[in-house]
Amino acid sequence: MNLSWLEHLTKPFSSLFDPIAERIGNWVARRKPKLYVHFNLGQTVWSIARQAEGDGSFTEMMQIVSWADVNHDDPKETLVITDAHPPGTYSRLPAPGKFAVPPRTLVHQQISAFVLPVKGEKGTPWRGKLILVDQFFRKYKTRSVVFQWVGPVPPASPTT
């Protein structure tokens, strides 16, 4: 049985549906990579930074600095980390440095952030996670890590 006439009927539809099917396939195949962050203990610190306001007052921000080894599991795509902040905070100032994580590469990188609100208590270590944001605004949550306080020692409360 010759069905060549059927090809003429379906050709207009294939030219319409092939690009749609290709885009859906690319979307399904493109998954969010898994980001691995290994913090270098002893190099994870936090303190208070102050930003001057127009009226002469200052806004206190939480400043976080850490060194970490970073890689991911996508064999083709380079990730560019554009922001970092603890959950429940937002970046007050742009991240001091964006960095790229090429495929199959371990990157030793400083991760820092100036965020509000302040999550830690002055004078004490703060334990928390960071959320790293890539160039596609995808978020990656790190494991919990202790950030040592490196700011001035707060005055002792008077005892009566």
- The band of 68, judged by pLDDT with boundaries at 50, 70 and 90, is very high
State pLDDT tens for residues 112-129.
Answer: 999 999 999 999 999 999
3-state secondary structure at position 122: coil
Q: Determine what percent of the chain is predicted with pLDDT higher than 90.
A: 66
Of 121, 112, 124, 118, nearest to 66 by C-alpha is: 112
Domain range 35-149, its CATH number among 1.10.3470, 2.60.40, 2.40.50, 3.40.720: 2.60.40
Indicate the pTM of the whole model. 0.76
Report CA torsion sign: 118, 119, 123, 126: negative
Mean pLDDT, residues 80-86: 96
